[in-house]
Amino acid sequence: MNINRIASAFGINSDNLNFTECTIGHINNTYFVKSSPKLPDPEFVFQKINTDIFKNPENLMENIFNVTLHIRKKLIQEGKDPSRGTLEFLKTTDGKYGYNTKEDGYWRVYRYIDNVLSLNSADTPEVFGKSGFAFGNFQRQLADFDASLLHETIVNFHNTVSRLQDFKKALNDDIAGRKNSIQREINFVLDRADKCSYITDGIASGKFPLRVTHNDTKLNNLLIDKDTGEGICILDLDTVMPGSALYDFGDSIRFGASSAVEDETDLDKVFVRLDMFDAYTDGFIKGVNGALTEDEIRAFPIGAYIITFETGIRFLTDYLNGDTYFRIHHEGHNLDRARNQFKLVESMEQQMDKMNSIVDKYINS
């Protein structure tokens, strides 16, 4: 990596650059870069895109530029600060979305936003509710953006039917020789296989409109203003593509309303927290501010169920395939994750009526 050469490609003065690596992300390589403090914008974020996962980085960056420019216009119209409300990516000096060479790989640059923090988990319903408002507001800002114009950066990413097919293939191939020891988990998936098409059928029928979706709505993909405590800017836009709003709502609940981390092995500790579900639902509905249909909102609980089930299927598929996709930290890690997600699915099944009642409360308020 030649940080000076990359900076120059984006028109950044490469004299006296200092940089530190961000070690939190798992896919792209990220660096915080400081240039001369005399410049109007002295701090940037440099990211090397993982082209093993994102095969067409130009399409990915076209999505990101179009979406962030759309949000920027909305922020300006509403009298808000666009420099803090959305990421601002730089083009290269020759007008391209990114810098790409055999030596350095594919790089992008955006301006650093200061006086912010990100959280890996929400300690209170209040914090989780604020993240719900931010991700709901993201839906509102993009409600009039034609989602069909976006590229699919990862094909069938949240297509649960396709994920089930991948699982069945992995089960049939059994390349790691593991299927005979996980019959209970296999049966869990097959017993609920008919649930997998709920969202995709809804999109196909028009019941659920095709929308711009983030597809990775974990809390740490939100920048929070240190002074106000409000979520102000959505990060990690690599998986922005056409989909259903249920994907974004569901993934947030799967991750943020669980009582435990997603690889907790004591399954007695794993259940859906209704206080967290309540707070996030309230925040998300307020954030979308009428931009979603009632059919979409009423489907929030089953959306959370489907995305949680899908994630468990993905973990179990990777375990059957010999742990080739998700990074593992011990033997059986993906199996632990799958069991954890399936326990959360069971908890949602047991509390689905209560989750529906919470949604009804906010629809009718």
Is the domain of 249 the same as that of 331? yes
Q: For residue 348, give its domain range.
A: 125-363
In a domain, 191, yes or no: yes
Query: How confident is the model over 172-222, as pLDDT tens digits?
Result: 999 999 999 999 999 999 999 999 999 999 999 999 999 999 999 999 999
Among residues 141, 158, 159, 152, the alpha carbon closest in space to that of 67 is found at: 141
Starting at the earlier edge strand, list the strands of the sheet with 18-22. 18-22, 29-34, 43-48, 105-111, 99-101
Min mean pLDDT across 49-53, 89-93, 135-139, 285-289 is at 49-53
Residue 24 belongs to a domain:
yes
* pLDDT above 70 coverage of the chain, percent: 97
The arithmetic mean of pLDDT across residues 144-154, rounded, is: 95
Quote the pLDDT of residue 194: 97
Retrieve residue 155's tokens. Answer: 């094909």
pLDDT band at 148 (very low <50, low <70, confident <90, very high): very high
Q: Please check whether residue 49 is in contact with residue 57, taking contact to mean a CB–CB distance below 8 angstroms.
A: yes
What tokens appear for 120 in the block? 């890996």
Question: Quick one: 63 and 153 in the same domain?
Answer: no
Domain match, 71 and 180 both: no
**In this structure, are 220 and 311 located in the same domain?**
yes
Q: Is 59 exposed, middle or buried (0-12, 13-18, 19+ CB in 10 A)?
A: middle
Give the position of tokens 């403090």: 37
> Which residue, of 92, 114, 136, is where some domain finishes?
114
In this structure, the answer to whether residues 31 and 149 fall within a common structural domain is no
Residue 285 lies in a domain: yes
pLDDT of 299-321, one tens digit each?
999 999 999 999 999 999 999 99
Residues 156, 53 within the same domain? no
Residues 289 and 152 grouped into a single domain: yes
Q: What angle do CA 308, 333, 23 make, to 5 degrees?
A: 90
- CA 341/CA 309 separation, integer angstroms: 7
Is 281 inside a domain boundary?
yes
Across the range 126-142, mean pLDDT stands at 97
Average confidence score pLDDT of the chain: 94
283 pLDDT tier (thresholds 50, 70, 90): very high
DSSP for residue 318? H
Average pLDDT over residues 331-353: 98
Same domain, 40 and 97: yes
We report the CATH number of the domain holding residue 78 as: 3.30.200
Categorize the per-residue pLDDT at 19 as very low, low, confident or very high, splitting at 50, 70 and 90.
Answer: confident
Tokens of residue 180, six digits: 């005979």
What is the rounded CA–CA span in Å between residue 28 and residue 278?
A: 33
Q: Quick one: 277 and 251 in the same domain?
A: yes
SS3 percent helix, strand, coil of the chain, rounded to 5, is: 50, 15, 40
Annotate 242-297 with DSSP letters as a single string. Answer: EE-HHHHHHHHHHHHSBSS-TT-S-GGG--B-HHHHHHHHHHHHHHHTT-S-HHHH
Could you say which of 65, 86, 114 is where a domain stops?
A: 114
- Count of CA atoms in the C-beta half-sphere (13 A) of 262: 22
| Shared domain check, 200 and 292 | yes
Q: What pLDDT sits at residue 81?
A: 95
Listed residue (251, 347, 264) closest to 300, CA to CA: 251
Whole-model pTM: value is: 0.93
Of the three residues 83, 114, 145, the one that is the final residue of a domain is 114
The single-letter DSSP state of residue 90 is P
> Is residue 120 assigned to a domain?
no
Residue 354 lies in a domain: yes
> Is 119 a member of any domain?
no
Residue among 266, 269, 263 nearest 328 (CA): 263
Number of domains in the chain: 2
Q: Are residues 62 and 95 in the same domain?
A: yes
pLDDT of amino acid 240: 97
More confident residue, 119 or 37: 119
Q: Is the pLDDT of residue 36 over 70?
A: no
CA angle 315, 259, 138 (to 5 degrees): 75
- What CATH number is attached to the domain comprising 252? 3.90.1200.10
Q: Give domain status of residue 103, yes or no.
A: yes
49 shares a domain with 83: yes
